[in-house]
Structure 1
Amino acid sequence: MKRTQRGMTLIGFIITLAVVGVFVYMGMKTIPMYSEYYAVKQALNGLAQEPGVTGYDPAKIKDLFFRRLYISYADNVKAENVKVVRKDAGYVMTVEYEVRKPLIANLDVVGKFKADQELRRGAVD
């Protein structure tokens, strides 16, 4: 009786391990970018819930926003990426920024993020 072996060869296992390793490495580079974007969205939502936010001037609104981001260690959002525009009885705050992280050799991962939030009078004002 002849027994045949089944399974993956060593070369096949090494190639599979290398492919999985590349995807894990790419995830390690991209997940922090998206968690920072989530922190930006949370800061905008929290700012919208702030009582009396529509009575503040745009500089004070930006200051409150960056204080919320400071807690989340969001480093890629700069003052020039934030715009506060008057709309009706409130403001529209837009945060648009780009994150570039080196991946492998001369390849970079680039993430472009944009978040908008209306700041208006609510029931708490």
Structure 2
Amino acid sequence: MNRPFAHRSQRGVTLIGLMSWAVVVGFIGYVLVRTVPTLLEYQAIQKAINNIAASPPPTVVGIRNAFERQKEIEYSIESIGGGDLEITKEEGKVVIRFAYQKEVELIKPVYLLIKYEGRSQ
């Protein structure tokens, strides 16, 4: 028996469901666009620290100055300077540590606080 107006169950996404997913995906994309530059800066700092630690200058001041020179070359490093580095010697090897915080404005007055820290290898 085939009725032309029989009630069939339908499958699929409703318009409201689709819009909800678009908002969620859009917000995640927005947060990523705002935070990825801070991650790239962290990676640039880590690379500079590793390069300096691989063949360290003989003094702490020399290490700080080498970082400042790297900072002039790598334009993305803005959050820390040579004075922010903690330089120690462990088992006869120079170890350079750094830590900083980065605030990312999402929507005023909401900010995302990201804490970065690292050390030479």
SS of the residue 1:38 aligns to? helix
Q: Is 1:75 the counterpart of 2:83 in the alignment?
A: no
Aligned-residue sequence identity (percent) comes to 25
Q: Is 1:47 the counterpart of 2:72 in the alignment?
A: no
Q: With the length of structure 2 as denominator, give the TM-score of the two structures.
A: 0.79
SS of the residue 1:97 aligns to? strand
Q: Please provide the CA RMSD for this pair.
A: 2.2
Q: Distance in 1 between matches of 2:24 and 2:93?
A: 50
| More displaced stretch, 25-34 vs 3-12 | 3-12
Q: Is 1:95 the counterpart of 2:98 in the alignment?
A: yes
Amino acid at match of 1:104: I
Residues paired across the two proteins, number = 115
Q: Which residue of 1 is the match for residue 12 of structure 2?
A: 7
Which blocks of at least 5 consecutive residues in structure 1 are unaligned? Answer: 119-125
For CA contacts below 8 A with separation 6 or more, give which structure has more relative contact order: 1
Q: With the length of structure 1 as denominator, give the TM-score of the two structures.
A: 0.76
Within the candidate set 46, 57, 60, 1:58 is matched to: 60
Asked which structure has the greater CA Rg, the reply is: 2
2:53–2:94 CA contact under 8 A, matched in 1: no
